[in-house]
Amino acid sequence: MKNNFFEKAEILCVGTELLIGDIVNTNAAYLSRRLATLGIGVYRQAVVGDNPARLAEDLRAALSRADLVVMSGGLGPTYDDLTKETAAAVMGKKLYMHEESLARIEHFFRSTGRTMTENNKKQAMMPEDAVVFRNDYGTAPALAMENEEGKVVVMLPGPPRELEPLFREQVEPYLWKRCAAVMVSRNLHIIGMGESSVEAALPEAIRNSSNPTVAPYCDTGEVRLRVTAKAPTAEEAGAMADRMAAELMQLPLGAYVYGIDVPSPAHALIALLETEKLTVATAESCTGGLMAGELTAIPGCSAVMAGGVVVYQEREKTALLDIAPETLAAHTAVSATVAKEMAEGACRVLGADVGIATTGYAGPGGGTPEEPVGTVYMAVSFRGETVVERLSLSSKRDRKYVRDVAVKRAISFALSFLRQKTKKS
Amino acid sequence: MKNNFFEKAEILCVGTELLIGDIVNTNAAYLSRRLATLGIGVYRQAVVGDNPARLAEDLRAALSRADLVVMSGGLGPTYDDLTKETAAAVMGKKLYMHEESLARIEHFFRSTGRTMTENNKKQAMMPEDAVVFRNDYGTAPALAMENEEGKVVVMLPGPPRELEPLFREQVEPYLWKRCAAVMVSRNLHIIGMGESSVEAALPEAIRNSSNPTVAPYCDTGEVRLRVTAKAPTAEEAGAMADRMAAELMQLPLGAYVYGIDVPSPAHALIALLETEKLTVATAESCTGGLMAGELTAIPGCSAVMAGGVVVYQEREKTALLDIAPETLAAHTAVSATVAKEMAEGACRVLGADVGIATTGYAGPGGGTPEEPVGTVYMAVSFRGETVVERLSLSSKRDRKYVRDVAVKRAISFALSFLRQKTKKS
């Protein structure tokens, strides 16, 4: 029975545009990640061009080592695209015209007002007794075929916007029945603690736990504490992961967690503002509009986003936020005082409940001995109370990194301050 | 002689984090791109984990097919990192302590104030008669080794911020002497014409030219017309590419080219503003700060960037830019009139020479039958003259795409308007 489960998988991507480096292979990472959640280990990823001989060689080699091979790309309509023909031959399958797919492809072209060419029909040819996964995102259907030894080849179209939903919605349920276990992860997003301190803050027992596993990962400006549980079903694994996540939230580090499985601090902040019916405004110097951009990236932010100002020059700091030239002269634009006045100015000028401000040196130029490149003051103002925090990043970091981290930190700083202020007692 | 040149290369990346999909393999794309410029074709990319047996198997297979194998990753200091040991064994080389590298690593740790552990010394072990490329960006040096058959294995550290400069600055010159030809590309960045119309606008002779080749590529919101010339030296290839680029600029499509080999319209705009000694301000609605963020991403922008406002609500459009509520009521916030007043308001309020504004429906919500999601009005104001353009993207596009394209188009719209206005006659 056990050996009927998938254990080893390999990923085989086809595409000259990958080999010449015109595009980055995000499919391999996506497929590896998803297969891991099914408890299937990926032992190799390979990329080959549209060359039948090399492709056949690689596919045979992969099938000799793995019991599952997931392929992406090469399903295009052009006649020189022989990936499907080659894979079918290696698996000992003949191709036939899959009428349902043909009808879908014809419909797809009609609905998008494009004209279907003869060779698009080729995309509806399927290997005998293959499982066909219908593609609602493009023309080429995905498919899975199994040989006598029970080894499976899954073929997916190359464009990520087609491959990802097809794999998630149809291929995963198909693979399910041959998965020994399912892995479910929960991610605790932490800001304000480094990776090593998070690790040190974990009790011995949790650090050594093998199921669920608990491990910190370092992302830009934050640490992600990943809890991964393994169980026969997704429900059981999910419950195990949730119990561990709840346990971790009880630890002191729980105070630094801005959310569990939330895409970013901005999402968490917008959600909090919505529930509290509060509006927010930004005043940015070094982040130059990125903070407002991050908040407005979230659909529905218009309910809480008042607006923002980018005051890149001292003149604008005075003109738009009424910051006295004397203040700027006395403290310089990169100071706790100016950050504070910027946040308060944002509330006043844009008529918002919450004001968030950033001012600092993003580099490469600028900075002083006391305030080198990488120094950013962040301020949050709410109902007349304003808090300021100083962020000092290594001056070795580049401009983009300093700006991205400053945005993330400023937003999560606002988030934790508001959480504390709006907590129902 | 000919067979002394590199013809076929394969790329072999080592790293469990790649196999579990925790990171995307940008190294493979980068290395492929750079090797193409050296006229060396990449026939295969593979990723394996830190497993000596599998690694040796893959490296032997690669060496049997290719005359150059470029490896990345696996040069870390941990003892279970056996990539270098494995590759050296496959190439039949012993390892020795490379004193110069050891000194550098010790120095690196002193200068970054970190303490060096015993196993860091392992990173200074080098295969006999290997060419060592010193790493000023991290601890592990890169290296190249050649076997009796003249086949070469290049090993590079995994982190892109180390791999990329090491390859560009030291490995490429090393490969040079065995390159039959060098390819040099020039990219003409075009905005306002689709990929197919650019292709159609190319004369038959140019479209069929085999050296230089001329081919359009579709990037987000723009088309890149790539000219690639092949010659024995970089100088000759560069000259050929430049001649073709100049010829293309004479065609009608030349009017849509915002720059040659410039990273983005923002870079071109900032450069133009600097030469003309002009300042710019932004007024954003749907792009919510991203346009200001794009302009301020460029180091040295402070000389020309006055600042910007994000007016997400009608109230702020009135409060910050004095747009009459009647105007908003009569035309709605997403209209040519409001875009025009926003651009003019940006100049006035921020005291800038040039004002750029965007207002539109980024989706998923919002929009009207006449102005569906994907509609964005862009306005540019300069010395009392204001021009407006309406961008209408497919409502199938997501919020991020609409915002990114709107930013790019608005900036290039400003660029072409200013070029025309500041042209010396």
**End position of a domain, from candidates B199, B230, B260:** B260
Q: Least CB-CB distance to B29: which of A25, A58, A290?
A: A25
Mutation target vs B (from A196, A309, A407; most B CBs, 10 A cutoff)? A309
pLDDT number for residue B1 = 35
Cβ distance of B21 and A28 shorter than 8 Å: yes
Question: b/e map of A369-408 (b: 16 or more CB within 10 Å)?
Answer: eebebbbbbbbbbbeeebbbbebebeeebebebbbbbbbb
pLDDT number for residue B425 = 52
Residue A88 contacts residue A94 (beta carbons within 8 Å): yes
Cβ distance of A307 and B305 shorter than 8 Å: no
Q: Least CB-CB distance to A47: which of B30, B44, B309?
A: B44
Mutation target vs A (from B20, B38, B296; most A CBs, 10 A cutoff)? B296
Cβ distance of A310 and B308 shorter than 8 Å: yes
The domain of A96 spans: 8-176
A372 domain-assigned:
yes
Find the residue in A nearest to B27 (Cα).
Answer: A24
| Same-domain check for residues A291 and A255 | no
Find the residue in A nearest to B36 (Cα).
Answer: A20
Where residue B362 sits, what CATH number does that domain have?
Answer: 3.90.950.20
User: Which residues of B fall within a CB distance of 8 Å from A311?
Assistant: 307
Q: What are the residues whose beta carbons fall under 8 Å from the beta carbon of A352, sequence distance 6 or more?
A: A279, A280, A281, A306, A307, A346
Find the residue in B nearest to A347 (Cα).
Answer: B316
**End position of a domain, from candidates B260, B284, B307:** B260
Residue A414 contacts residue A384 (beta carbons within 8 Å): no
B3 domain-assigned:
no
pLDDT number for residue B79 = 67
| Same-domain check for residues A71 and A139 | yes
| Same-domain check for residues B84 and B156 | yes
User: Which residues of B fall within a CB distance of 8 Å from A403?
Assistant: 293, 297
User: Which residues of A fall within a CB distance of 8 Å from B282?
Assistant: 289, 310
| Same-domain check for residues A369 and A328 | yes
Q: Least CB-CB distance to B21: which of A32, A296, A301?
A: A32
Average pLDDT of B20-46? 93
Find the residue in B nearest to A318 (Cα).
Answer: B350
User: Which residues of A fall within a CB distance of 8 Å from B310?
Assistant: 282, 289, 292, 296, 307-310
- For residue A101, is pLDDT > 80? yes
Find the residue in A nearest to B33 (Cα).
Answer: A21
Looking at every residue in chain A, the average pLDDT score rounds to 91
* pLDDT classification of A221: cutoffs 50, 70, 90: confident
Q: What are the residues whose beta carbons fall under 8 Å from the beta carbon of A340, sequence distance 6 or more?
A: A357, A379, A381, A386, A388
Mutation target vs B (from A17, A23, A31, A45; most B CBs, 10 A cutoff)? A45
DSSP string, A287-327: TTTHHHHHHHTSTTGGGTEEEEEEE-SHHHHHHHH---HHH
Where residue A146 sits, what CATH number does that domain have?
Answer: 3.40.980.10
**End position of a domain, from candidates B115, B142, B176:** B176
Question: If DSSP codes are grouped into helix, strand and coil, which group holds residue B201?
Answer: coil
User: Which residues of A fall within a CB distance of 8 Å from B307?
Assistant: 309-313, 316, 320
Q: Least CB-CB distance to A316: which of B43, B307, B364?
A: B307
| Same-domain check for residues B170 and B211 | no
The pair of structure tokens assigned to B347 is 């100049």
Instruction: Compute the nearest-CA separation of A295 from chain B (Å).
Output: 8
User: Which residues of B fall within a CB distance of 8 Å from A400?
Assistant: 297
* pLDDT classification of B424: cutoffs 50, 70, 90: low
Lowest-pLDDT range, A134-138, A178-182, A220-224, B113-117? B113-117
A325: how many CB neighbours lie within 10 A of its CB? 11
User: Which residues of B fall within a CB distance of 8 Å from A316?
Assistant: 306-307, 350-351
Cβ distance of B315 and A306 shorter than 8 Å: yes
| Same-domain check for residues A294 and A349 | yes
Average pLDDT of B38-53? 91
Q: What percent of chain B has pLDDT over 90?
A: 68
| Same-domain check for residues B127 and B104 | yes
pLDDT in tens, A241-291: 999 999 999 999 998 998 999 989 999 999 999 999 999 999 999 999 999
Average pLDDT of B239-265? 94
| Same-domain check for residues B208 and B134 | no
Question: b/e map of A25-58 (b: 16 or more CB within 10 Å)?
Answer: bebbbbbbebbbbbbbbbbbbbbbbbbeebbbbb
Q: Least CB-CB distance to A307: which of B297, B301, B313?
A: B313
DSSP string, A18-53: HHTTSS-BHHHHHHHHHHHHTTPEEEEEEEE-S-HH
Q: Least CB-CB distance to B49: which of A21, A24, A43?
A: A43
| Same-domain check for residues B223 and B274 | no
Cβ distance of B300 and A48 shorter than 8 Å: no
Average pLDDT of A100-113? 84
User: Which residues of A fall within a CB distance of 8 Å from B161?
Assistant: none
A2 domain-assigned:
no
* Domains of chain B: total: 3
Sign of CA dihedral A231, A237, A241, A243: negative
Q: Which of A85, A47, A43, A86 is nearest to A67 (CA)?
A: A43
